[in-house]
Amino acid sequence: DVKVTQSSRYLVKRTGEKVFLECVQDMDHENMFWYRQDPGLGLRLIYFSYDVKMKEKGDIPEGYSVSREKKERFSLILESASTNQTSMYLCASRSAGGPPDTQYFGPGTRLTVL
């Protein structure tokens, strides 16, 4: 079974702090994604990476950056956390090529910025 893990289930940070959210997948997937989930808004794509050191902005990249130095790991960085970044963050991965296929999701990190 594909496994996507996220470093923390719950995280509390203060405004202005630098925050790292880590995601690791064990299926050698090329593509990895970061979403944020907010009530009434569904899932919105922040960034995705189609290969190591490759990244592309999603729909709401402002205030975020990402890093993918190894194929299995995709990090989301909040350079200076703000209260409006309080949200659930979900990581996902999928295999590239061929018809679109399933994205596999991690359990999520609920981030609270005070």
Partner 1 sequence: AQSVTQLDSQVPVFEEAPVELRCNYSSSVSVYLFWYVQYPNQGLQLLLKYLSGSTLVKGINGFEAEFNKSQTSFHLRKPSVHISDTAEYFCAVSATNKLIFGTGTLLAVQP
Nearest Cα to 22, choosing from 32, 31, 30? 32
Does position 41 interact with partner 1 (CB under 8 A)? The reply is: yes
> Nearer Cβ to partner 1, position 31 or 87?
31
> Nearer Cβ to partner 1, position 43 or 52?
43
SS3 of 87-114: EEEEEEEECCCCCCCCCEECCCEEEEEC
Nearest Cα to 64, choosing from 97, 21, 14, 5? 21
Does position 50 interact with partner 1 (CB under 8 A)? The reply is: yes
**Selected range binding partner 1 among 11-19, 30-38, 66-74, 79-87, rule: CB under 8 A:** 30-38
Does position 103 interact with partner 1 (CB under 8 A)? The reply is: yes
Contacts of partner 1 in 82-101 (CB under 8 A): 90, 92, 96, 99-100
Angle at 67 between CA 62 and CA 71, to 5 degrees: 135
> Nearer Cβ to partner 1, position 39 or 84?
39
Does position 42 interact with partner 1 (CB under 8 A)? The reply is: yes
Phi, psi of 83 (to 5 degrees): -60, -30
Q: Are 22 and 9 in contact (CB under 8 A)?
A: no
Q: What does the DSSP 8-state code read for residue 8?
A: -
Question: Which residues of this chain interact with partner 1, rule CB under 8 A?
Answer: 4, 31, 33, 35, 40-45, 48, 50, 58, 90, 92, 96, 99-100, 102-103, 105-108
